[in-house]
Amino acid sequence: MNFNRLIHEKSPYLQQHATNPVDWYAWGEDAFKQARAEDKPILVSIGYSTCHWCHVMEKESYEDASVAALMNQYLVNIKVDREERPDVDKIYMTALSAMTGQGGWPLNIFLTPDLQPIFGGTYFPPVARWGQPAWADVVTQVGQAWRDPDSRKKMMEAASSITDALTKYSSVSHEPVQSKSAWLDEAFQAFKATYDPEHGGFTAAPKFPMPVYHNFLLRYYARTKNQEALEMSLQTLRAMAKGGIYDHLGGGFSRYSTDDRWHIPHFEKMLYDNAQLAVNYLEAFQAAHEDDLKRVAEETLHYIQRNLTHPEGGFYSAEDADSLASAEDKEQREGVFYVWSRDEILAVLGEEGEAFCAAYGVEADGNARLDPHGEFVGKNILYRRDSRHLFTEARAKLLAVRQKRPRPHRDDKIISGWNGLAISAFAKAHQILGAPGYLESAQCAAGFLQKNLYDPKTQSLSRRWKDGERQGKAIADDYAFVVQGLLDLYEADFNPAWLDWGVELTDTMNRRFYDALKGGFFMTAPDQDERLLLRIKEDMDNVEPSASSVAVLNLLRLAQYTSRSDFLEIADKTLRSFGTNLMEAPRALPQMLVALDFALTEPRQIVIVGTTASPDTCEMLQVIRKDYIPVKTVMLLDGGPAQARLSGSLPFLREMKAVGGKATAYVCIRQTCKQPTNSPEALEHLLKG
């Protein structure tokens, strides 16, 4: 078997392409030097290892020797893992969106040798169809046009124009605007206008779970007691949990639904989706106290523990949509690991099979008739048509049988930022549900990051770890998400070391990514990669929230623990710098609105004097965690070094003592506290007041 240069890379995505006849390079100076030496345009092809259409294009085109020969003849070809290099992906995805109004993966973009974008697209078929040209024709046309002086001149002019537009886009900064609570009301109305009351969600097909939407709606409900906001979130979460996008046997959510009723999923499972959705279901459970919401959160977290956890505690990135139907099969297909025929289910479940099929929408000729590509003809995607009975034992039997099928590929690289999101999920699960296993998962993951993805000398993070090797400088998202996880972990186990590390990483983030002139956080640091065309600020909260949005909330929370005025100043300047965006397009920045809600509310500092081992302290913490109170910070004073460290920043803590030898709660606003109490009932009354 012949290998190309990618055989030396650790990225699972690049490794998947290591046997292609395409002469692939990894992103770097070797490729750029070759393009300049041979005077060829560059193809940058960006994807990730669990991307279905990336697999399709590889099989159809990159594995084809004749197509590869054209690519090698006309181009210098670079493969990029978007999960390792989101900075590269962001620049060229922005360029593609500007050129075509569309985006997605695989992202195939042609560049000049000095990395300016010329032309691009996403998936190209091997023959012309669906209104798209054949990939070989695209490669040939670009390559030949580059060799023609007149055509090259036009290409260079187009590339220069696109680069100028990108530069202007990245440097646009509105005049700072003072934050207003009315923006929260206007955002709610914007969500209401796009809400699907029949199926839940806020778009037509395809429907993506958008955790940031629920973060905003639940906090808007907590702020205003607007029942519509709560119901929009709950109805969407319920619909997703009943649909085929949810794995009713193994837990966890697929990437998105191809239809408008959450039934036909794109089956890849991402850590960042499932970590954030687990938090949505946990917080919705706090708000509505519906057991089904708790169950879905638990099953999702158990999926992460079972399938996406490294033995030493870090969390893997994703599982693929594609797999083999059997060990003898040679061709991977989407979803075959998850779908069932009715006869298969009846054979496993026996007498209970008929009732199960009725409850989970299983039909003799298959229930996947809405499948847009005909992948699942005659097969069934499980969904809950009857929600009265869960069939717990039947589901366990089917899961045991499914586990014997060839598993989808697992992307086992460990991304620091996504681990931060998962740490938040497990820390919050421990807070809300109390199970110690969740806390252990969060602590082990934080320890893994500290050991493997953190340099204490530079106080900086790396982006990725795999097979004992860390690589790549972390981007702003990594810092923001890890700090968020550490804050949530502190409020789970009250180890002040997590706070200390969170402050340290925040200082590094402010130093490396903060725009002191205009506010907000750049995606990359100035020394990240000198070959990048420009530094971009993410101005949208998408399937992952933006670094600026998460950083603002982190800074506001940390200010409550440290009294640092610089944290408040940076948070305020960032909010004001995004003010015009929040006014004009509030749905684009729901996580920034979450931070705005915190900034506009007097956050409660809830202090428990006691020890985590004592039953009365646990009882007090249960009161605090039972209901949904998002705008708060929680501290535990045990009379030891932790109390001394916190008191050094917050002098008002020094005089706090346990009353009558029992765990005692202090509820404070701006360091002014109400009468302390060691009565759980009195504490509950204070929190509702």
Lowest-confidence region among 168-182, 185-199, 316-330, 459-473:
168-182
- Could you give the CA distance from residue 431 to residue 286 in angstroms, rounded to a whole number? 11
Q: Which amino acid is at 223?
A: R
Q: Which amino acid is at 177?
A: V
Closest C-alpha to 240, from 271, 270, 193, 202: 202
- Could you give the CA distance from residue 298 to residue 250 in angstroms, rounded to a whole number? 11
If you average pLDDT over every residue of the chain, what do you get? 94
On the question of pLDDT at 13 being above 90, the answer is yes
Beta strand spans in 467-593 (E): 469-473
- Token pair recorded at residue 539: 């101005």
On the question of pLDDT at 1 being above 80, the answer is no
The mean per-residue pLDDT over the stretch 122-129 comes to 93
The mean per-residue pLDDT over the stretch 653-660 comes to 90
Which pairs from 154-158 meet CB under 8 Å and 24+ separation? 155/41, 155/112, 155/118, 155/119, 156/112, 158/118, 158/119
Is there a contact between 210 and 257 (Cβ–Cβ < 8 Å)? no
Closest C-alpha to 636, from 559, 568, 624, 628: 624
The continuous run of DSSP H or E covering 667 comes out as strand 664-669
Confidence of residue 640 (pLDDT cuts 50, 70, 90): confident
- Could you give the CA distance from residue 541 to residue 386 in angstroms, rounded to a whole number? 35
Confidence of residue 370 (pLDDT cuts 50, 70, 90): low
Q: What is the pLDDT of residue 328?
A: 84
DSSP string, 142-211: HHHHHHSHHHHHHHHHHHHHHHHHHHHHHH--PPP----THHHHHHHHHHHHH--TTT-SSSSSSB---H
Is there a contact between 30 and 91 (Cβ–Cβ < 8 Å)? no
182-241+275-316+411-600 and 5-171 share a CATH fold: no
- Token pair recorded at residue 632: 């708060």
Q: What is the pLDDT of residue 655?
A: 87
Q: What is the pLDDT of residue 671?
A: 83
On the question of pLDDT at 361 being above 80, the answer is yes
* DSSP 8-state code for residue 74: H
- Could you give the CA distance from residue 494 to residue 140 in angstroms, rounded to a whole number? 61
Q: What is the pLDDT of residue 647?
A: 87
* DSSP 8-state code for residue 331: S
Q: What is the pLDDT of residue 373?
A: 67
Closest C-alpha to 96, from 132, 128, 120: 120
The mean per-residue pLDDT over the stretch 588-605 comes to 96
Task: Kindly give the residue spans of alpha helices, DSSP state H, lying in 243-376.
Answer: 271-288, 291-307, 342-349, 353-359
Q: Which backbone phi and psi does 462 adopt, to 5 degrees?
A: -100, 160
Task: Kindly give the residue spans of alpha helices, DSSP state H, lying in 23-80.
Answer: 29-38, 52-57, 65-74
Closest C-alpha to 279, from 425, 65, 175: 425
Q: What is the pLDDT of residue 264?
A: 94
On the question of pLDDT at 374 being above 80, the answer is no
- Token pair recorded at residue 557: 């929370």
**pLDDT tens, position by position, 563-583:** 999 999 999 999 999 999 999
Closest C-alpha to 593, from 549, 540, 560, 640: 549
**pLDDT tens, position by position, 394-437:** 999 999 999 999 999 999 999 999 999 999 999 999 999 999 99
Instruction: Please state which CATH class domain 604-688 belongs to.
Output: alpha beta
- Could you give the CA distance from residue 2 to residue 111 in angstroms, rounded to a whole number? 27
| Of 162-176, 325-339, 478-492, highest mean pLDDT | 478-492
Is there a contact between 75 and 142 (Cβ–Cβ < 8 Å)? yes
Please tell me the CATH code under which domain 5-171 is placed.
3.40.30.10
**pLDDT tens, position by position, 269-291:** 999 999 999 999 999 999 999 99
- Token pair recorded at residue 211: 């955790």
What residue spans define the domains of the chain? Answer: 5-171, 182-241+275-316+411-600, 338-404, 604-688
The mean per-residue pLDDT over the stretch 363-391 comes to 86
Please tell me the CATH code under which domain 182-241+275-316+411-600 is placed.
1.50.10.20
On the question of pLDDT at 372 being above 70, the answer is no
- Could you give the CA distance from residue 328 to residue 153 in angstroms, rounded to a whole number? 53
The mean per-residue pLDDT over the stretch 442-467 comes to 97
Confidence of residue 129 (pLDDT cuts 50, 70, 90): confident
∠ Cα 16 20 22 (to 5°): 125
3-state secondary structure 570-592: HHHHHHHHCHHHHHHCHHHCHHH
Query: In percent, how much of the chain has pLDDT > 90?
Result: 86
Q: What is the pLDDT of residue 596?
A: 97
- Could you give the CA distance from residue 499 to residue 518 in angstroms, rounded to a whole number? 28
On the question of pLDDT at 82 being above 70, the answer is yes
Q: In 3-state terms, what secondary structure has residue 470?
A: strand
Which pairs from 189-196 meet CB under 8 Å and 24+ separation? 190/586, 190/587, 191/216, 191/217, 191/229, 191/232, 191/587, 192/228, 192/232, 194/587, 195/232, 196/260
Give the alpha-carbon dihedral of 130, 135, 136, 139, to 10 degrees: 130
Q: What is the pLDDT of residue 172?
A: 62
- Could you give the CA distance from residue 380 to residue 361 in angstroms, rounded to a whole number? 8
Confidence of residue 560 (pLDDT cuts 50, 70, 90): very high
* R_g over Cα of the chain: 26
Which pairs from 497-504 meet CB under 8 Å and 24+ separation? 498/446, 499/558, 499/561, 500/645, 501/450, 502/554, 502/558, 503/558, 503/562, 504/459
**pLDDT tens, position by position, 154-185:** 999 999 999 998 888 776 667 778 878 999 99
The mean per-residue pLDDT over the stretch 340-351 comes to 96
